[in-house]
Amino acid sequence: MKRLGAGAVTAAVVLAGAVPVATAHDGDRPPGPRVVTEGLDNPRQLNWDQEGDSLVVAEAGRGGEQCTEAGCVGATGAVTLVEDPHRWTPTVSTVADGFFSSAAPDGSFAVGANGADATDVAGQYLVAGYDPDRPPMRNGAMLVAGTEDGQEYLLPYADLQAAEEQLNPDGAQIESNPYAVLFVDEDSGVSPDGYALVADAAANAVWKVEPDFSTATEGAPPEYEITVWATWPTTVLPDGTDDPAGPAEFVPTSLATDEDGNVYVGGLGSERPGEASVVQFSADGAELERWDGFTAVTGVAVDGGHLYVSQLFGPTPPLPPGETPAEEAPPTPGQVPGQVVVLHRHHEDPVRWAIDVPLPAGLAADGRGSVYAAVNSVAPAEGIAAGAQNPFGAVGGGAVWELDFSDTYRLDAAGE
């Protein structure tokens, strides 16, 4: 299993039917990406709210002041709402905060509120994260947070760690690292209803969390059932640990849905070059399509014809200092890696195009030509300073960008 330490796009011209390319910019807008909002701590998943006009941003936080050899912990995770992100000055607000976060001493590579989505209840959000009342890193949970009658609430709702201990769908070591969440509204005319899908990177599974709303009372939330919606095998050694010589693990990190209710799951692929994938499922969990050849997928989005994929480190993940194989060039000093890849999802063997985006994670497409990305997704608000242990040089602070695909370049068949 794997634990993560962690636009305006004008569809005016289509190259080989694969990628929307901006040939003109709105008004006086300069070429390149537009900063929608910045000052975010380790921004991860992006989702649209139920109205489809505001971005829900999960911030994994920046750890805290309680430090051990394992990292620094604190209640610094948050959910941020970006209203009308297409505007030059969107309204940005924190709609939920106080989530468990663990990070390096400089606030980088946090785990915490890794994923967030809005429900059909006004002001309510689901969060893929951790229960602060349980031992760190054995506390994977889906939380519910929001505001009701002017009062904020934060409830560790679904115990994903317990589900992993009971079901262990990939048969490997017991570990939960919830990384993305998707609210599925089964009936738009009824509220509350629906269920949640949670991508659990360490469990190598997507959980389905289904509440029984008939059991809810004024003083208690509804009971729920957790089932395995999708899972992938893990090759393990006799001692129960992962086999590094075995096939790459899928490691689900990303969730998205299309207008037909199909679900797209992106995986990290053990951070091995070219061994990550995106899988399309029907709403009931039947596999429909699969795109292979990616590297370290940390975000997916779709619009009417395209699939967008974040590759956290670009085509080749960096290794720790001193461990880069001789045949591989180390990262260029001062060059922050990362790509967003786009392809036409209705084409057989589609051409892939990419743009450089620093350390991208969550993606969101509005269906009208704009694509948004969480960038510098492993950095706190002030960024990461250059140093001996940082092969990238200085990294900018966490932010959300609107992407510009006018400078795409074509990738080869391996996605590199």
Query: In the predicted model, what is the mean pLDDT of residues 109-116?
Result: 97
Task: Identify the residue with better confidence: 293 or 245.
Answer: 293
Tell me: the pLDDT tens digits for 148-174?
888 899 999 999 999 999 999 998 889
**pLDDT grade for 240, boundaries at 50, 70 and 90:** low
Q: How many other CB atoms are found less than 10 A from the CB of residue 12? A: 12
Mean of the pLDDT values across residues 236-253? 80
DSSP 8-state code for residue 167:
H
Query: Taking a C-beta distance cutoff of 8 angstroms, is the pair 155, 145 a contact?
Result: yes
Q: What is the pLDDT of residue 319?
A: 56
DSSP character at residue 282: -
Q: Is the bond preceding residue 211 a cis peptide, omega within 30 degrees? A: no
Question: Which residues lie below 8 Å from residue 276, measured CB to CB, with a gap of 6+?
Answer: 248, 266, 267, 268, 269, 292, 294, 295, 296, 297, 311
pTM for this prediction: 0.90
What is the token pair recorded at 209? 């969390």
Per-residue pLDDT, averaged over 119-126, amounts to 95
Residue 29 has pLDDT above 70, yes or no: no
By percentage, how much of the chain surpasses pLDDT 90? 70
| Chain-centre distance for alpha carbon 190 | 28
Of 218 and 33, the one with more pLDDT: 33
Mean pLDDT of 253-266: 97
